[in-house]
Structure 1
């Protein structure tokens, strides 16, 4: 039977509910790690549980109080806003009486509502000191206590009640107690907001209680959005359970924001005083806020104090360690933005613009650009981007701010030179070379164009864009960049280590277009060495891919493999998304496989490379892709299909640069010769003037003249090509084979065999097989009579292993573990659970396995691994 309660000093009855342990909601996740911590905490005199609304403070303590883990009786008290010190201690005393720790008339009751007599606290401490065993007093909602009277009373009782009293204080903010002294004395155990954040395992359990077992990716998304906030997870789980597409709900940050909006507006924003509410609404547009920035947005000189108070009371605002900056919980920030838009839609862009000016004044140009773009002030954003050389990270794709995405909403007709330069850079970052050239022409053609009278930063930006988008030679642009760098403030150059590797990369690519293969390889090697640090990771990936491609064209197949594998490894290691990856490395590995007559591997690599955007947008890679397709079809005997891949490029009104033009012409001629169409081969080669063509073009002409039975002309061309320092290994092999074939036709069989052995010795270090296959069946017949020298031919007849058995790169330890689980017929989700990985991570490892084993399916990967004794 419940004993009626009364408080004589107010005349109002005491509420039994305030002394009851709160009801445990259905579906509560039992968080044993925190229950254990609370049990350990109550071994000492004071345990403090603090955190924002909805992080699970009360739920944790209530769950613990209802368990059998407490060291003794538990007295629970829930505070209300209007509880005065006298009322508070009246409830404490009544709770102790109900627990049986105090006799009914042992102490009496407080006689004053607004204060408590010191003698009462002394008698209470004395009574507790004599308690036979531990006693736990839980005070929930301590932040609601008025003034400091309650806190000072708790401090006194805690200090004098002896070891039996175990206080558990639950609050949204740190109480005004000497916590630093308690910590030093080892008397305080703390459970903070970050401790209360849900772990992945706890989040899975919570979501399972609300509906079907969630996908791992869904759990990861919700944890990322809520940062483990208990109420946010529960509200999102309930909303997701009602959603027709739970996965789409999890992917939508807006859906999560709507699910928690009412809670945050009511429990967090509405309870703040007016100055704090106004500050939150005006600064919520930012990811991070500084007191001075808050002052600029609000006009309040006390912004720092308000932010400090918000952080202290855990209003989803937290300080960034070691700085004066603060951050908002992402969901709270989104709720604030939505609330501001609904109340004052015209204010948000103005606040962003004001923030942009503040950042610019502080020398934080990247943040200034972001805020100006958010506020639609494109002229200011572009001016900051060009003036501070921020075009460099856009072009390098460093992932830093600003990026091409920052300017995705900028109208194409935004007036001015700098917006045009930035638009050109964004096009170049998307491999839209033609778009870059047109916008660059607009920037340079206006009355204030990036000419000699422009600022050095404008001219440097224009020169860099001109270099990267140049259709032909660009040495002058590269030298101009070097000269302009000397005129730009040194600190700006130091901030942007991307500029030098971009210059080297652009110059090397221009050399490739001009047919200067060796210069291009040397330039790309320098560019790779110049790429250092996180700012140039993506650029290093691209440079290595282009270098691998240049190596493959030069016949340096081993180097091409190494550089191509390194490019792909960087992309995998740093998690570069497919939208930003370059297909150059894949094209290079396909070229290596084609040269070695490993056609299945070549097809796999080429298929993968074609999935990446730059193999469709970048003119150079587009041509290289078509050439490789033609070579692959030619090797399979599909000559018409090979020529169809090249026709579109050869028929274009705007002729490609000399290097790509020669590659197209030679590929077309090779396909035509394989079919026996000498005239078509000659016509294709005529597209490239002989004086502009590289040695490969001369070699192809010699092959055409030899096929047309013009040995004198063929020999002249052979001698011309042999004199060139730029002749590649594959073409050197072809030249020797041409001489061998001529000797054979002239009846000099021994001479022909000697030349064949020379060609084999030249080709063997790189495993080159395509020149021998293209030369025709006479090679096989001649090689059959090599007698004691037949070992020179064995590697050609029997490749390193069947084409389908090659491995581009060794599997990592984690990839082997994933492959072992796949071999057990486990699904992606099961593999992830077994290895404690996310599903996305498993998928990334699978892509790496497919690439390294030259397969495209799980079953093929397992079979290939077994053939290679990996399983």
Structure 2
């Protein structure tokens, strides 16, 4: 077993405990609990060195309160082949998925995991992890703490073996062996055992005092005094040690687990090895083995007392050393708390830069607890800290809209001044990336696009030396630029940025997955589905954590897969892919694309009435937090127009378009042409489609939309040659790119005469997106006659004369016709009648 604590020289084998502890070696669970000084750690360490087999010993501390922090320690200690990937799985918020991945990794060979000081851990999900792994993997656990671990929660339901304080107590023979190890004659052992009742720490203290000859009174009085002193706490013992030893103990309390050289650097005039030996000998600390070598750890109960009162807690040099050790141990949030305690803002900023991704993915809540306490002037002066705080607030679903807006405003308030005042190009890159992130979180996409352009120019203008310094940041900067351009409608340009990020030699595994997923999404958005499918296959084939599914980094792939499924007519798969990232809806930037893709699936199912209401409601609810970009707003608006037209709500669709923030965005222009077509204005629709098609770089998706409007409009106008040309061009795009979803925006009666089919012949014929649109089939015979006359007569009186009806009767029939067709004018009613093929 790796990293078992070093055994003190007085330790004696205790084979009577082996049977219970061997339960863990057989894949079971052992709970070892008892008060401080009861010998829990030493007893388990002695067994582990003798017969535990493969595995690792992990000592917890105040930084390991959460399940995530504990597993990070465990995986690093076990040194599994895929530990780095398993660590990355914490980005997934699905405990079950990670549990299964860990179980799979621990199923190959028996391992024992010893967790010491489990009282620091308070996460019921970890209890579920232990239950699952003991039941389904080859791993066994020994949990050491003051009280039965999770006694009131999950673990009692599992058959666990306990080593209680009574079982840990030394028997008479063991007491004699401990005393003999420190030089106390055997005849004295029975009385010591009687008075100490097998208490390990008390027995050891009595033995040391007797062996050192410090007893000046009667033997029995000495034993009783020592035991009374031990019972009052370790602080009394410490005060009896030399001043240098006390100084080292206070340093150790601040540093936490630390190598001897770290303590020696802070106390160069002290014999560190000698001081640590005295602390171990006095039972006030012990050596723990880690992947970074031996580290001294003060007894937790003594450390907590000293840390609160030690003058070293205000010594900046000591705190910085403690922060370095915490960061090296993978505890960046603890390092941040330490630096925050001495107001070292520069060091905290540098730590945030080094730990940016870890803070956002692994330790969100712990880092947020730090950034929430930063003074406003610090956030204004250090934009990296301000933006990290902003992103953490945004990633917390509990953050309200007003809190997010205030945080964004604070982050942006002084970044511009920092950019103008800082001549350092490396600092300028960091600050500009920070500005870009804050602008997007705040919904300021117009400004973000300008910043992205500035950042792109800045990266290209760096000298070779400066570029080398910012090289680790380049993949992240390129993804930020690409995402900003994507949300501004510059999809092809954004893809180039993502491709550059993937090719960077310093991009992380997660960075590759994130950028590659975004590439797949860009192809799907433009309708390049052959390329989209290839990009998705590349991402799926790449090495990745098992629970990558459903994470932020996977969202681009899930969206691309949903859009691919829509084009195949597979609404179930589309919804399944969207469901995988639904839990991120409140915090993810891709929320507009999630809604847009979901609406496309609804069109495919023919569920349009409820889908339009749900789309509008979710847009309203999500936009309260922060608005999306103008282009994404246009995309969602165009989708709402499609749903409204499918249900016959043409007037609402027109009003919605009139309220558009941008009349020039491509989705809005296409939607406007389609509304004109449904309003009975095919000539205006054809003209608008022609203007849209008059662009060589038009994306495939929008070219197909415009071609379909043109084909249907010319067909209604009777211009057969133009209708055939447009429909042939549309059919070619459908065939060559596998793009079929734009066909769902038109009634089958318009498409079939042009040789175009909305879905495959095997598709469900009842899934008609236009099923809810008012139909002429519901008109009475009299209403049908009035409608037919309406095509050649412009007034109610002339229709009344032809049909031998009164003008009032004709008007009543016309009101009924308009209501049933959802029309508001003569032209619109006639257009819908022609669409249905009844005129």
Q: Secondary structure of the equivalent of 1:617?
A: coil
Would you say 1:623 and 2:592 are equivalent positions? yes
Alpha-carbon contact 2:429-2:455 (below 8 Å) kept: yes
Q: Secondary structure of the equivalent of 1:452?
A: helix
Would you say 1:519 and 2:493 are equivalent positions? yes
Alpha-carbon contact 2:700-2:733 (below 8 Å) kept: yes
Q: Deviations over 1:431-455 (max 9, x none)?
A: 4597677445435546995252247
- Aligned counterparts of 2:277 and 2:459: Cα–Cα separation in 1: 44
Q: CA deviation at 1:722?
A: 0.9
- Equivalent residues in 2 for 1:781-860, closer than 5 Å: 781-782=752-753, 796-798=760-762
Would you say 1:27 and 2:16 are equivalent positions? no
- Equivalent residues in 2 for 1:7-22, closer than 5 Å: none
Would you say 1:742 and 2:713 are equivalent positions? yes
Q: Deviations over 1:437-476 (max 9, x none)?
A: 7445435546995252247466544321221233224354
Which residue pairs with 2:209 in the alignment? none
Which residue pairs with 1:769 in the alignment? 740
Q: CA deviation at 1:282?
A: 3.2
| Cα distance change, pair 420–202 in 1 and its aligned pair in 2 (3 A) | closer
Which residue pairs with 1:245 in the alignment? 153
Cα RMSD (Å) of the superposition? 5.5
Would you say 1:592 and 2:504 are equivalent positions? no
Which residue pairs with 1:641 in the alignment? 610
Q: CA deviation at 1:234?
A: 7.2
- Aligned residue pairs, count: 592
- Aligned counterparts of 1:716 and 1:267: Cα–Cα separation in 2: 96
| Cα distance change, pair 512–33 in 1 and its aligned pair in 2 (3 A) | closer
Alpha-carbon contact 1:424-1:465 (below 8 Å) kept: yes
2:636 corresponds to which of 657, 661, 664: 664
Alpha-carbon contact 1:407-1:426 (below 8 Å) kept: yes
- Aligned counterparts of 2:600 and 2:133: Cα–Cα separation in 1: 45
Q: CA deviation at 1:732?
A: 2.0
- Aligned counterparts of 2:419 and 2:269: Cα–Cα separation in 1: 45
When structure 1 is superposed on structure 2, of 663-672 and 291-300 the one drifting more is 291-300
Which residue pairs with 1:427 in the alignment? 390
Alpha-carbon contact 1:599-1:632 (below 8 Å) kept: yes
- Aligned counterparts of 1:742 and 1:486: Cα–Cα separation in 2: 48
| Cα distance change, pair 616–557 in 1 and its aligned pair in 2 (3 A) | farther
Alpha-carbon contact 1:393-1:496 (below 8 Å) kept: no
Which residue pairs with 2:481 in the alignment? 507
- Equivalent residues in 2 for 1:607-622, closer than 5 Å: 607-612=579-584, 615-618=585-588, 620-622=589-591
1:53 corresponds to which of 39, 42, 59: 42
Q: CA deviation at 1:350?
A: 1.0
Q: CA deviation at 1:631?
A: 2.8
- Equivalent residues in 2 for 1:62-73, closer than 5 Å: none
Q: Deviations over 1:251-271 (max 9, x none)?
A: xxxx999x9999789879989
- Aligned counterparts of 1:294 and 1:732: Cα–Cα separation in 2: 69
Would you say 1:731 and 2:731 are equivalent positions? no
| Cα distance change, pair 361–518 in 1 and its aligned pair in 2 (3 A) | closer
Q: CA deviation at 1:670?
A: 0.6
Which residue pairs with 1:547 in the alignment? 519
Which residue pairs with 1:391 in the alignment? 353
Q: CA deviation at 1:420?
A: 6.1
Q: Deviations over 1:519-553 (max 9, x none)?
A: 222222223333744xx333333333333332222
Q: Deviations over 1:566-600 (max 9, x none)?
A: 55776952755967655343233223323433211
Question: What TM-score does the superposition give when structure 2 sets the normalisation length?
Answer: 0.57
Q: CA deviation at 1:610?
A: 0.6
Q: CA deviation at 1:205?
A: 14
| Cα distance change, pair 382–439 in 1 and its aligned pair in 2 (3 A) | farther
Unaligned ranges ≥5, structure 2? 1-9, 27-39, 53-107, 116-125, 170-198, 206-233, 768-839
Q: Secondary structure of the equivalent of 2:665?
A: coil
- Aligned counterparts of 1:368 and 1:241: Cα–Cα separation in 2: 24
Alpha-carbon contact 1:501-1:530 (below 8 Å) kept: yes
Would you say 1:293 and 2:262 are equivalent positions? yes
When structure 1 is superposed on structure 2, of 409-418 and 360-369 the one drifting more is 360-369
Alpha-carbon contact 2:251-2:318 (below 8 Å) kept: no
| Cα distance change, pair 582–793 in 1 and its aligned pair in 2 (3 A) | closer
Q: Secondary structure of the equivalent of 2:295?
A: strand
Q: CA deviation at 1:693?
A: 0.9
Q: Secondary structure of the equivalent of 1:327?
A: strand
- Aligned counterparts of 2:24 and 2:323: Cα–Cα separation in 1: 49
| Cα distance change, pair 575–339 in 1 and its aligned pair in 2 (3 A) | farther
| Cα distance change, pair 412–749 in 1 and its aligned pair in 2 (3 A) | same
2:129 corresponds to which of 217, 227, 238: 217
Alpha-carbon contact 2:501-2:515 (below 8 Å) kept: yes
Q: CA deviation at 1:509?
A: 2.0
| Cα distance change, pair 501–248 in 1 and its aligned pair in 2 (3 A) | farther
- Aligned counterparts of 2:265 and 2:736: Cα–Cα separation in 1: 68
- Aligned counterparts of 1:23 and 1:362: Cα–Cα separation in 2: 37
Which residue pairs with 1:718 in the alignment? 689
Q: CA deviation at 1:731?
A: 2.3
Which residue pairs with 2:366 in the alignment? 405
Unaligned ranges ≥5, structure 1? 1-17, 35-50, 64-198, 207-213, 787-791, 804-871
Q: Deviations over 1:728-759 (max 9, x none)?
A: 22222222322332343344668755644432
